[in-house]
Amino acid sequence: MRDYPLQPSIPKLAPLSQLATPPLRLGMTQWSHNAWQRKFYPSGTKSGERLARYAEVFNTVEGNTTFYASPSHATVANWKAATSDAFRFTFKFPQPITHQMMLRHSDAMVSEFITLMQPLHERIGLWKIQLPAAFGPQSLPDLKRFLTAMPTAYNVGVEVRHPAFFAKGDDERAFNSLLMEYNADRIIMDSRPVFAVPADTDALLDAQQKKPAVPVHAISTSNTPMVRFIGDPTLERNDAFFANWQKKIPQWIEEGKTPYLMIHTANNDQAPQLAERYYAKLREQILLPPLSPLTPSSVNDQQISLL
C-alpha cells in the first residue's frame, strides 16, 4: 500500500481534513443542509458556522453555488476565513458562461469570475466546467479555446452530457485526447444507484427527473480525477455500485493521482453517512488517514450524560 505524505508536525494518525497533501479529497455537494443539524453540526451551530464545521471532517466540497450566482466579495472572504490551507473548493463556472454562451465570447465574464475568487485561488482544487447536453462534438473547438486561455497552474475538470462523448467512438476519443492535451480532468458522474430502484420516495422521484442518466466511464485524463457518486437514500443499496470505485480509486492513488470523491444522495440527508461508509471501504483497500467523527462532540457528551 502507498503511504500518504505528512507534514513533520502532523502525527501519523492525523485525520484526513488536517493533511496538506492528502491521498484523496472527500466531500459532498454542499456544506449547509438543515437535515444535518445535531447529526453533524453541534447544537447551536448557526448557518454561517456550518462551513467551518464541515471542514473539520471533509477536505473538499463541490461549490455548486457559483453555478447559479456569483458570491459577493464578503462571502468569498468568509469562505476563506472558515477553512484552512488544507481545504480545497471545487467551484463551477457560472451558468451563463457554460450553458448560455457555451464557452463562446465569454472571456470578460471568465476573467471577472476568476478575479472575484482570487482570495481563494490557493484553495481551489478544481475549476469545474459543467457543460449541457447541447454541447456536442461540434463544440470541441470552443472547449479547446477555453482551455487554452485558462492559466496553466489551475486544475480544470470538465463534465459533459452529450451522448456522443459516451459512445466510445471517435468523438469520445477526441474529447478525451483534448483533455489530456491540456491536463484537464474528465469529471465522472455515477448516477446508477438512483435509477436502479423504483422512485418510491419524493427524493428519488425528484432525482430521477433531474439527474442525467449517463454511462459511467472511469477514465482519468489528468492527475485529479473526480467521481460524483449520486446515491440512493437507502445507504446499503449503493454498495454494489461502489464496488468498482473501491478498486479504481485506490488504483489512482497508487499511480500518484489525487482523486476527488464527491458523495451525493437523492436528497443529501444521509450524504455524510454515505461518505463515511465509503471512505471506510476505501481504507480496507489502501492505507488512508482516519476520518474525523461525524457526530459532534457535544452530542456525544450529551448521550454519555444520559447513561
The pLDDT value given to residue 260: 98
pLDDT tens for the chain, 307 residues long, are 455 554 444 456 799 999 999 999 999 999 999 999 888 999 889 999 999 999 999 999 998 899 999 999 999 999 999 999 999 999 999 999 999 999 999 999 999 999 999 999 999 999 999 999 999 999 999 999 999 999 999 999 999 999 999 999 999 999 999 999 999 999 999 999 999 989 888 888 988 988 889 999 999 999 999 999 999 888 999 999 999 999 999 999 999 999 999 999 988 999 999 999 999 999 999 999 999 999 887 544 443 333 3
**Measured distance CA(54)–CA(83) in Å, rounded:** 9
The pLDDT value given to residue 11: 53
The pLDDT value given to residue 88: 98
The pLDDT value given to residue 3: 53
| Residue 99: partners with Cβ closer than 8 Å, 6 or more residues away | 131, 132
CA gyration radius for the chain?
A: 19
Phi, psi torsion values for 92, nearest 5 degrees:
-85, 145
Query: How many other C-beta atoms can be found within 10 angstroms of the C-beta atom of residue 267?
Result: 16
| Residue 219: partners with Cβ closer than 8 Å, 6 or more residues away | 176, 186, 188, 225
Q: Could you tell me which of 20, 95, 39, 22 has the C-alpha nearest to residue 296?
A: 39
The pLDDT value given to residue 298: 52
Find the DSSP H helices in the chain. Answer: 50-57, 65-68, 73-81, 95, 107-116, 140-149, 170-181, 192-195, 202-210, 239-254, 271-283, 297-305
The pLDDT value given to residue 80: 98
Q: Could you tell me which of 228, 216, 149, 229 has the C-alpha nearest to residue 184?
A: 149
Residues 221-236 as b or e (16 or more Cβ within 10 Å = b): bbebbbbbbbbbbebe
Query: How many other C-beta atoms can be found within 10 angstroms of the C-beta atom of residue 22?
Result: 23
**Measured distance CA(25)–CA(10) in Å, rounded:** 18
The pLDDT value given to residue 189: 96
